[in-house]
Amino acid sequence: MGIKWDKFFITGDPLILGSQIAILLTMIGIVALVTYLKKWKWLWREWFTTVDHKRIGIMYILMGVLMFFRGGVDGLLMKAQTATADGKLLDAQHYNEVFTTHGVIMILFMAMPLLIGIMNVIIPLQIGARDVAFPQLNALSFWLTFSGAMLFNISFVIGGSPDAGWTAYFPLAGKEFTPGIGNNFYAVAIQIAGIGTLMTGINFIVTVLKMRVKGMTLMKMPMFTWTSFITSIIIVASFPILTVALALMTFDRIFGTHFFTLGGGGLDMMWVNLFWLWGHPEVYIVVLPAFGMFSEVISTFSRKMLFGYKSMVFSIVGIAFLSMLVWVHHFFTMGAGPAVNSIFSITTMMIAIPTGVKIFNWLFTMRKGRIQFTTAMLWALAFVPCFIIGGTTGVMLAMGAADYQYHNSLFLVAHFHYVLIPGVVFAVFAGLYYWWPKMFGHMLNEKLGKLHFWFFVIGFNMTFLPMFFLGLDGAVRRSYTYSAETGFGPLMLVSAIGAGILAIGFGFLCYNIYWSARYADRNISSDPWDARTLEWATASPAPFYNFAKLPEVKSLDAFWYMKKNNDGLELRENEIKEIHMPSNSGLPIIMAIVFGIAGFFLIFEWKIAALVAALGIIAGLIVRSFDYNDGFHVPVDEIKATEKAWRKVDKEVKDHVS
């Protein structure tokens, strides 16, 4: 099969050798620790085989935080390299690999898992469901995403990292110009994770359409549910394009076809076209759920109903529609002619309209509200001005003619970081601080949270604001070095220091998670923020069946009115009935492992081995189709005991705030 063992492990770079040793030791350490604590059975039973949407969500979030760390280290390496003129830390090849993996990991393995994780935990609770529509498929989605992420991450110690940018433009990404196997990792690992994401999209569309509790019409859904629903629709519309594009890339690289090559009738720009046909909707896939989180947080902490609910819904539907019509603005410089570029300039600028509507809605929600400056609310407040900077520069970039000047400069890099970090990362942080008690039964420390906030926001602005000016002065992206004569040095240094401050902020988050897990007060109310939506109408953390008695929705912000009218919060003994829940299954994780192995063989172009492993995937599908286990019933006594534990004497939702 022509295995090139000498190319298997990456050798010769002290940084990578260090990482290889560190990874090996960490793996041995984890296995030893779990064995020592005798936790393997517990892990398998409670986590690896779980189909509970809350646990799957928590695993997504854990993965997202880990990947944030990995992608963040990549970012810091880039900043350290360009902090001074003619930096010597990384060579050109290593720098190429680092900015490629930074981009892929931050978008696909950090932003998406964190958002999908929070969606998983919260959406079924918000719509009063007991789980998602297809719980086992949900587990498979997670494990495939995880499998893809791990496959992508091992690339830098085994086989070599992809190095053609996160966009992997042809012809550079083709076999002709990138002969190693690094880019095979890109083609295959993202494919596996993408299948998982596509299934998540289908799952959540069905969940939201079919499993809403009695009385919750579409226009009474919480805003986060709305945005996640629309996001799922965009996922189902756009991810198949990525699937096809990556499959064609795989054929080109591994089987010698000519879809995107220079010779043989290939069309290299077709890759760019297909990539952004997926890639631009992808931006809205990550930013829409984040908008939903801000809506929940702002409305809760302004103690007001969300302003302009209907216009909010119409603008997200509008954004979803327009998101499919703007992709060419990523490659105006292809020079597709005045007609094409003008049309796509206009559609791009049009997106600013519904987005602006949303910004004003948030501002009017806060107007005359009694704002509480919790950490979650601080993130939402910082989001508005930072995101407006990102949005305004986006409109500048949308002008086709002017884009020739900004294209591939640091101005562009600053723009999309100003959109994605406030738009997604701030939202995820706000969501984590807000929903942490719902997931774990304790809050994150507010003091540490505020340190996290200030370091992160100041560091973020310090890192990326100088990049606008550097870009206008002509500094290009993806360039590993620059000479002192360019005069970029001082601003680059400011930017690098900012990145350090940002990293300290992230450190505070990690410490906060650790500190709160150990010392935070467990005796808190199940509704610590005095919130408005249904996820707070049950215990924190929610029991595995979510609701002992399904609530009935009569208005928007259902839980708020249930509290106000003291209606439907009590649980009478005779109301408790058996609850039907899905059984755990080991099949998803096994299938994901088989997917990972088949993918690994394909990456190394061991085609027959990959084919054999792929038979395992089909075997998994067959096993699943003969699976007649349709779950189990939770007995009434167990529900009674669980509910008694948190409802206390008055049998109402626990209401005190410690």
Residue 545 is a catalytic residue: no
Tell me, yes or no, if 567 is annotated catalytic: no
Query: Residue 160's closest CA among 308, 12, 1, 344?
Result: 12
Binding to other proteins in span 152-211, by CB under 8 A: 209
Q: How far apart are CA 305 and CA 466, in angstroms?
A: 38
**Minimum Å distance from CB 271 to other proteins?**
11
Q: Does the annotation mark 570 as catalytic?
A: no
Q: Which two tokens stand for residue 157?
A: 């110690």
657 sits near other proteins (criterion: CB under 8 A): no
Q: Which of 277, 121, 279, 261 is nearest to 190 (CA)?
A: 279
Nearer residue to other proteins within complex by CB, 275 or 453:
275
Cα torsion at 256, 258, 260, 265 (round to 10°)?
160
Cβ nearer to other proteins, comparing 51 with 322:
322
Q: Is 340 in the site for other proteins (CB under 8 A)?
A: yes
Catalytic residue among 197, 302, 361, 374: 197
H/E/C letters for each residue in 49-90? CCCCHHHHHHHHHHHHHHHHHHHHHHHHHHHHHHCCCCCCCC
For residue 94, indicate whether it is catalytic. Answer: no
Number of residues that this document lists for the chain: 658
| 264 binding other proteins? (CB under 8 A) | no
Tell me: does residue 336 bind other proteins (CB under 8 A): yes
Q: Which two tokens stand for residue 187?
A: 């083609």
73, 206, 237, 371: which one binds other proteins (CB under 8 A): 237
Stretch that binds other proteins, among 59-67, 76-84, 270-278, 477-485 (CB under 8 A): 270-278
Contact 571, 548 (CB under 8 A): yes
Figure out which of the listed residues 58, 188, 208, 241 binds other proteins, where binding follows CB under 8 A. Answer: 241
User: What backbone torsions phi and psi does residue 579 show, to the nearest 5 degrees?
Assistant: -115, 135
Q: Give the relative orientation of helices 182-210 and 92-104 as an angle to the nearest 10 degrees.
A: 10
Window 276-315: residues binding other proteins (CB under 8 A): 277
Catalytic status, residue 473? no
Task: Specify the residue, 274 or 562, whose C-beta has the smaller distance to other proteins.
Answer: 274
Quote the tokens at residue 467. Answer: 């990049």
Residue among 325 and 550 whose Cβ is closer to other proteins: 325
Catalytic residue list contains 284: yes
CB of 358 to other proteins, least distance (A): 22
Q: Is residue 91 annotated as a catalytic residue, yes or no?
A: no
Q: Measured from the CB of residue 276, what is the shortest distance to other proteins in angstroms?
A: 10
**How is residue 225 written in tokens?**
């549910």
Candidate ranges 99-107, 166-174, 327-335, 487-495; the one touching other proteins (CB under 8 A): 327-335
The only residue of 84, 93, 273, 481 in contact with other proteins, by rule CB under 8 A: 273
Known active-site residue 120: yes
Asked if 132 contacts 204 with a C-beta cutoff of 8 angstroms, the reply is yes
How far apart CA 78 and CA 83 sit, in angstroms, is 8
- The C-alpha atoms of residue 177 and residue 173 are separated, in whole angstroms, by 7
Please report whether residue 328 would count as binding other proteins according to CB under 8 A. yes
Residue 342 or 483: the one with the smaller Cβ distance to other proteins is: 342
**Lookup result for tokens 């569309």:** 205
User: Any catalytic annotation for residue 184?
Assistant: no
Given 68, 95, 99, 604, which residue is catalytic?
Answer: 99
Q: What is the dihedral of CA 147, 149, 152, 158, to 10 degrees?
A: -60
Which amino acid belongs to residue 138?
Answer: N
Does 335 interact with other proteins (rule: CB under 8 A)?
Answer: yes
- Among the listed ranges 219-227, 333-341, 472-480, 615-623, the one in contact with other proteins (CB under 8 A) is 333-341
- CB of residue 206 to other proteins, shortest distance in Å: 11
- Type and span of the H or E element at 288: helix 268-301
Sign of CA dihedral 319, 321, 324, 328: negative
Residues 6+ apart with CB under 8 A from 429: 376, 379, 452, 453, 456, 509
Which member of 6, 36, 217, 339 binds other proteins (CB under 8 A)? 339
Q: Is there binding between residue 322 and other proteins (CB under 8 A)?
A: no
Q: Which residues, 6 or more positions from 550, have their beta carbon under 8 angstroms from its beta carbon?
A: 128, 213, 214
Is 167 noted as a catalytic residue in this protein?
no
Does the protein bind other proteins through residue 66 (CB under 8 A)? no
Please say whether the beta carbons of 196 and 142 come within 8 A: yes
Q: Catalytic: which of 212, 358, 442, 532?
A: 358
Residue with smaller CB distance to other proteins, 267 or 476:
267
Residue 258 annotated among the catalytic residues of the structure: no
Given the residues 74, 535, 557, 643, the one annotated as active site = 74
Min dist CB 165 to other proteins, Å, is 21
270 binds other proteins (CB under 8 A): yes
Assess whether 350 carries a catalytic annotation: no
CA pair distance 184, 187, nearest whole angstrom? 5
Instruction: Give 265 or 337: the residue with its C-beta nearer to other proteins.
Output: 337
Tell me if 504 contacts other proteins by CB under 8 A: no
Q: How far apart are the first and last CA of the chain?
A: 65
- Smallest distance, Å, CB 53 to other proteins? 23
Does 133 interact with other proteins (rule: CB under 8 A)? no
Between CA 360 and CA 312 the distance in angstroms is 10
How many residues sit in the footprint of other proteins (CB under 8 A)?
A: 20
CA distance 94 to 112: 26
Residue 365 annotated among the catalytic residues of the structure: no
- b/e map 339-369, b = 16+ CB within 10 Å: eebeebbebbebbbebbebbbebbeebbeeb
Interacting residue with other proteins among 14, 88, 337, 564 (CB under 8 A): 337
For this structure, is 197 an active site residue?
A: yes
Residue (332 or 418) nearer to other proteins, CB: 332
Among candidate residues 159, 218, 220, 221, the one with its CA nearest the CA of residue 185: 159
Q: What is the C-alpha to C-alpha distance for residues 215 and 558, in angstroms, rounded to an integer? A: 10
Determine, following the binding rule CB under 8 A, whether residue 476 of this chain makes contact with other proteins: no
Burial (CB < 10 A; 0-12, 13-18, 19+), residue 446, is middle
Known catalytic residue: 183?
no
Instruction: Return the closest-CA partner of residue 599 out of 616, 619, 615, 613.
Output: 613
Smallest distance from other proteins to CB 198, Å: 14
Is 99 catalytic? The answer is yes
Give me the catalytic one of 53, 54, 79, 417: 417
Binding site for other proteins (CB under 8 A): 209, 233, 237, 241, 267, 269-270, 273-274, 277, 324-325, 327-328, 335-340
Catalytic residue numbers, as ranges: 60, 70, 74, 78, 99, 120, 131, 138, 141, 145, 197, 200, 207, 280, 282, 284, 295, 311, 355, 358, 415-417
